[in-house]
Structure 1
Amino acid sequence: MAWGETSVWIDGTENAPLYQDLLDDAAARPARDAERKKIIRPNEMPWEMSRQGLLKHLINEQMNTRMETVDAYMQIVPPGSKSGKHRHLAEECLYVLEGRGYDLHQDCDVEITDEYFWKPQEEVKRFEYEAGDVVYVPPNTIHQHFNADPDRPLRLISTINRIFKQCGLNDLEQIENAPEYDPSLTLTPEVIRGFLRGER
């Protein structure tokens, strides 16, 4: 043959229907999607006692919903308390449902090669907010939420793009745990009501 590299590229005997698998997946998708939830009821939204704090997952890729690109949870920060502190590569948007508080944000200098290299900048910025506000967290920013009210809970809706993770960029790091974090505690409506009242 005319190409000098033929002796190299023509090697191999393994066959696989990879393109056909893509066609089959595309053909089966409408039926598969019809089985996925477009409405999620409160009793279908799992609670989590997480290192970041008290979460109620609204949309998550493990919840069999039609949402392909976004994860969302409601976070409850008890009166006078704070969330955990973490950093992730994806940007985040939070809607303040109830209460008042503030965020501390610390930007990082980042280099992405085969590994992530990040270094926190010196400045820590404070952003105050109240119910009805939207809080933006830039990519790769160390951040933490604080409830500024000693008597009432702070409730936030967090949304984040899961495409970063699907692209191999799930650079999520927990730096500090929420004060309420107790992996042995199972969250129930009764337990959550105790946190809302500041009893726990």
Structure 2
Amino acid sequence: MSIEALRSPRSLPTDVFDWGTIKWHVTPSTVPDATSTLGEVVIYPGQGHATHVHESADEVLYVIEGEGIQTVGDDDGFPIAAGDAIWVPKNTQHSTFNVGWKPLRLIATYTPGGEEAALRGLPDFTELAPGTAPVWAQANNTH
């Protein structure tokens, strides 16, 4: 295997959002000739991302660890847990919410790749340099 094909998490930046983090291992913009995207998503306990669509790509989610609620299209949401795979057709509303006490970890793929670029424009987006760990902040509460 060529060193260009190796995509170690410690060598990749981390995308940070209010709800969690993403490490994009393979994208068309970072891997020569790549036509799809693959990343690891971590959704913090009690958090989730807003309902959204990917207009030009199908998405597949594979749950590595944790438990959550997933919506796809007009459904009310269904439980997801480790080992589950979810297919989200292009141009279909969807969201993921962590209902467990530990991080919800997923593998996300886009076919064709490139949809991840839109996330960089979100107001809560921050990119951390490779090797920099995100800091989880607890929200202010009354107890």
Shared fold (TM-score greater than 0.5)? yes
* Superimposed CA distance per residue, residues 130-173 of structure 1 (whole angstroms, 9 cap, x where no aligned partner): 01111111221111101011x2110111001136x6xxxx7x97
* Unmatched tracts of structure 2, length 5 or more: none
How many residue pairs align between the two structures?
133
The code of the aligned residue for 1:160 comes to Y
Aligned CA-pair RMSD: 3.1
* Superimposed CA distance per residue, residues 76-107 of structure 1 (whole angstroms, 9 cap, x where no aligned partner): 1101111232101321101101101111122x
* Superimposed CA distance per residue, residues 157-190 of structure 1 (whole angstroms, 9 cap, x where no aligned partner): 1001136x6xxxx7x978xx7xxx6346847325
The code of the aligned residue for 1:62 comes to S
CA contact (8 A) 1:51 1:84 kept: no
Structure number having the greater helix percentage: 1
Greater RCO (CA < 8 Å, at least 6 residues apart): 2
CA 1:51–1:136: 2 relative to 1, 3 Å? farther
Structure 1 or 2, whichever has the larger Rg, is: 1
Measured in 1, the distance between the counterparts of 2:134 and 2:92 equals: 34
2:8 to 31, 41, 52: 41
Match of 1:157 in 2: 107
Match of 1:148 in 2: 99
Match of 1:74 in 2: 40
CA drift at 1:127: 2.4
CA 1:43–1:36: 2 relative to 1, 3 Å? same
* Unmatched tracts of structure 1, length 5 or more: 1-33, 107-122
Match of 1:56 in 2: 23
Percent sequence identity over aligned pairs:
28
